[in-house]
Amino acid sequence: MIFMADATLSIFVDESGRFQIPDKESPYYIVSMVMHDQRVSVAELVAELERHFSEMRLSNVCFHAGPLIRQKNAFAIMDWSFRNKIFRRMLAFASKLDFKYHCLTIEKRFVNSREQLISRLQGEMAGFFDRLVQTHPNVDRFKIYYDCGQTPVTNMLLSTFKPRAELDIEFAQAVRPERYKLFQLADMIATLKLVELKLENGDMMTESEYKFFGGPRNFKRNYLRFVKSKEI
């Protein structure tokens, strides 16, 4: 591992869901946050991942779990085994990487409006950041990476982090998912958390999820367990 001078904690943020209430098709809202100490270089692991993708004759791969599982967009012409190999390469990358993650999760059946959903998420985000600051007293700077994909999430991040004048907080500018493997990792974490929530609550996997992951037992054993130890 290569250690760099500045104690900066990166927080890569992604989301899964929409702010529609009620919403039977999307019963959960998830904000995933992947945290990484920038003093520990990820360059070697990223190069290894890109080398594996190159060996698969893939270039400039932007991992996006939803379309990958559903065989959509850039993954539409790829068969199941090839798409699954891409996913498992990302899992292997995650298993070697020194990072932690946390997911804010809301079951929409327990909220009555879009405003209440946003308020609940805002409270959970603020509470988590307070705990994060307490458990990382030696961090000099927090750097937030979000692609501004959903305006309510952007506003939550600004209202959570901007008022903390006593802390050195930076918002990365013009964040594009294809530039950051850790942002793509946050996307994968959100998808794994969504399936985990479904199974915990007795909900069915979608047809594409069942086909891709091989059912609940296989999902827990061969996919979820690779990242579960990184959760805080």
Q: Which residues, 6+ apart, have CB-to-CB distance to 75 below 8 Å?
A: 67, 68, 83, 86
Rounded to 10 deg, the angle between the 43-55 and 80-96 helix axes is: 160
Distance CA 232, CA 211 (A): 29
Place of tokens 């086909």: 211
Alpha-helical runs (H) found in 9-64: 43-55
Pair of tokens at residue 56: 């698969």
- 190 in helix, strand or coil? helix
pLDDT at 1: 40
Beta strands in the chain (DSSP E): 8-16, 28-37, 100-107, 141-145, 169-171
Place of tokens 């991942």: 49
pLDDT at 4: 45
Tens of pLDDT along the chain (232 residues) come to 444 457 899 999 999 999 988 888 889 999 999 999 999 999 999 999 999 999 999 988 899 999 999 999 989 999 999 999 999 999 999 999 999 999 999 999 999 999 999 999 999 999 999 999 998 888 999 999 999 999 999 999 999 988 888 889 999 998 999 999 999 999 999 999 999 999 999 999 999 999 999 999 999 999 999 899 999 9
Phi, psi of 132 (to 5 degrees): -65, -45
| Distances 6 to 3, 103, 104, 202 between C-alpha atoms, Å | 9, 26, 28, 45
pLDDT at 5: 53
Provide the β-strand partners of residue 103: 32
pLDDT at 59: 82
Q: Taken in order 97, 82, 204, 216, is the CA torsion positive or negative? A: negative
Q: Taken in order 216, 222, 223, 229, is the CA torsion positive or negative? A: positive
Distance CA 19, CA 231 (A): 25
User: Does residue 151 contact residue 122 with C-beta atoms inside 8 Å?
Assistant: no
